[in-house]
Structure formats: C-alpha cells, structure tokens
Structure 1
Amino acid sequence: MSEFTNVTVVKKANVFFGGNVVSRTVIFEDGTKKTLGFIQPGEYTFNTAAAEVMEILSGEMEVSIQGQAEKLIIKGEGVFDVPENSSFTMNVTAHADYICSFAK
C-alpha cells in the first residue's frame, strides 16, 4: 500500500534526539495509530510501552531488540517486531524512512 486513506493526521510533529528522528502520527477510522517518520544517521534507543511493528521503507541500519541475541541488518526495506515494555536500538548508517504501527 503506497498511501493511507480516510485518516486523521496530528499536526504537531514528534521530535526525538534533537531533531534527528521526526515523525507524524496518523490515526485510522478504527482508532489504530501509526507514525510516519524519518531518521538521520546515528544511534538511537527507543523504549516501548505497547508492542510495535517497525516497517523500514528505506535506509540502512543495525537493530538490537531487548531480549534478542541476534542483531538485524536492514539495507533498503525491512520489518521487525518489538515487544511491549521493551526497548530497541537502531544504529542507522543511511537515512531511513519508516512506519511504526502500534498495538491497540
């Protein structure tokens, strides 16, 4: 799917790590939420309350997910799940475009 229809977009941006990670929240008719964002190269650790699915649309990175021994290497597109009440670290080496989907 290359676009979302019938959604509400929150105007205020989500800005993290001094502006190196920026996203916008999209709310669907059924109440589910996603963020659409862009990440500059660097290393970033995120803490999760709810489970998340990270869909990388472009970029290059190494991802470490709390509790998982193996690191994920993503070049181009990729998807990974993050459990609730967890964290993950992204070491981004090329600008990344992403969609984060949150569990209801």
Structure 2
Amino acid sequence: MINVNEYFDGAVKSLAYTSAKGKSTIGVIESGEYEFGTSTHETMTVIEGELVALLPGQQEWKSYTNGQYFEVPANTSFKVKCQGQTSYLCTYQ
C-alpha cells in the first residue's frame, strides 16, 4: 500500500512504500528550512536539486546534490534547507 505524507503545511510531501529492501519514502521539499525527527536509521538521497543539512553532532551545514546522500541515526533530529524544490529518496533501517 502507498501512503501519502504531508508535513509543514504541505511544504514537504512524500509517498511511503515498502519494497523488498524495506520501507522507503520518495518526496519533494519546497524552499525553506525544516527540522525532522527520526525513530529509525535513515539514509536520505537527493534525487534532484540541493539539500543543505545540519546533521546530529555537527556544527556546520553541508550541501548534498543529485545522487549524494547522508545518514541519520535513529532517535535523533536533523535540519535541512533548500532553495527551490528538491526531491529525495529516504530509506529506513
């Protein structure tokens, strides 16, 4: 089953699904800055655009573009910001 998720008054939308590899979401983020919490380990891959992320334990923001990814441990939070719509794939472990 495909589930639709919407966050931050519709500025972030994703489709959640389960494949042979496990649970994933694929979505789009509008321009802005957002903070997300995690309950499981996440790997977020930028499909198109650019995400600038502040990851747990880090002091500096880092840019990720097409095909690049970052990992976030379970039970933490992280911030992302972007200018222009950015699409992503998030896989959960």
The question of a shared fold, defined as TM-score above 0.5 by the shorter chain, is answered with yes
Structure 1 residue 21 and structure 2 residue 12: aligned? yes
Percent of residue pairs bearing the same amino acid type:
31
AA aligned to 2:39 is A
Q: Greater relative contact order: 1 or 2 (C-alpha under 8 angstroms, separation 6 or more)?
A: 2
* Equivalence for 1:6: none
Q: What are the Cα deviations for residues 48-85 of structure 1, in whole angstroms up to 9, with x where unaligned?
A: 01010000011123100121233211243420000111
Q: Distance in 1 between matches of 2:81 and 2:4?
A: 22
* Equivalence for 2:42: 52
Alignment of 1:1-104 (within 5 A): 9-10=1-2, 12-29=3-20, 32-103=22-93
Q: For the Cα contact (< 8 Å) 1:63–1:88, is it kept in 2?
A: yes
Q: What TM-score, normalized to structure 1?
A: 0.81
Report which of the two structures shows the higher radius of gyration computed on alpha carbons: 1
Q: What TM-score, normalized to structure 2?
A: 0.90
Q: Distance in 2 between matches of 1:23 and 1:74?
A: 19
The unaligned stretches of length 5 or more in structure 1 are 1-8
- After TM superposition, the runs of 4+ consecutive aligned structure 1 residues lying more than 3 A away are none
AA aligned to 1:38 is V
Number of equivalenced pairs: 93
AA aligned to 1:100 is C
Q: Secondary structure at the match of 2:84?
A: strand
Q: For the Cα contact (< 8 Å) 1:61–1:94, is it kept in 2?
A: no
Q: CA RMSD in A?
A: 1.4
